[in-house]
Structure 1
Amino acid sequence: MRRGLLDTDMLSYYLKGVPQVVDRAREYLAQFGVLEFSVVSYYEVRRGLEWAAAYRKVAEFEAFVDMCIVWDLDRVAAQEAAQISQALRVRGELIEEADILIAGTARARGLVVITHNVRHFRRIEGLEVEDWLAEG
């Protein structure tokens, strides 16, 4: 197992208590001690909670976030994301901007992207992808 960046979908599955994801997260935590995700995923989850007016869950989410590493989108990550976007554009395989920013953050930090959305992320050269919901 390598250090990884949880994509928004996997972060949501973890927060919802999906057993297979929670089990894999326990294994990950035993090895690395902390979960990591992008500020982009933070935004996407927080936005969903705000839209749902789930204020108790917002407080729970913030308490959870305090125990995690939330990677900012810094200059190096933004440069990686721009290069990813260009490579995908040239091949006619663009994906959502949020996914590009998450991938740029992971690539800049040398992290695996942990996602169930492997179809999008596997298009990105130089990016390792892991799916905690995959069989096996």
Structure 2
Amino acid sequence: MHAVTPVAFRLTRGADLKLSIFNAVKHHKLPAGCVASVVGCLSHLVIRTADGKSTLNIHDDVEIVSVSGTLTPDHVHLHIAVANKQGDMIGGHLMEGSIVSHTAEVCLLSFPQMAFTREFDEETGYTELVVSEK
């Protein structure tokens, strides 16, 4: 059985959620990982929508409902779902500039026996995940 290593931290007001997660990946030298849980709230949300091109900028308090994603040493691929003050939900690809309003509690999982990288895929037009064993 392979070990899984947890990484947990709390972000405070003004932290960029995506950059902070990426910085944690670099700081802890995670070779491969995923997001286990993120709870908290944002004062500014930036997401890319399903068309792969458009972005939404929401300058209002939103509650983080879910964050999921894969973590590589050079890239984090994160999706987020949030709820506004009325409970309406929206989600998409998390972009830089999404700012913590009060707190965000982040739990990541590292898979030291694996290596995640990304390679350009001509079919999708994006860099896609490549999974290998160490």
**Coarse TM-score class (shorter-chain normalised):** under 0.3
Q: Which has the higher helix share?
A: 1
TM-score if structure 1 supplies the norm length? 0.24
Q: Which has the higher contact order (CA 8 A, sep 6+)?
A: 2
Q: Which has the higher strand share?
A: 2
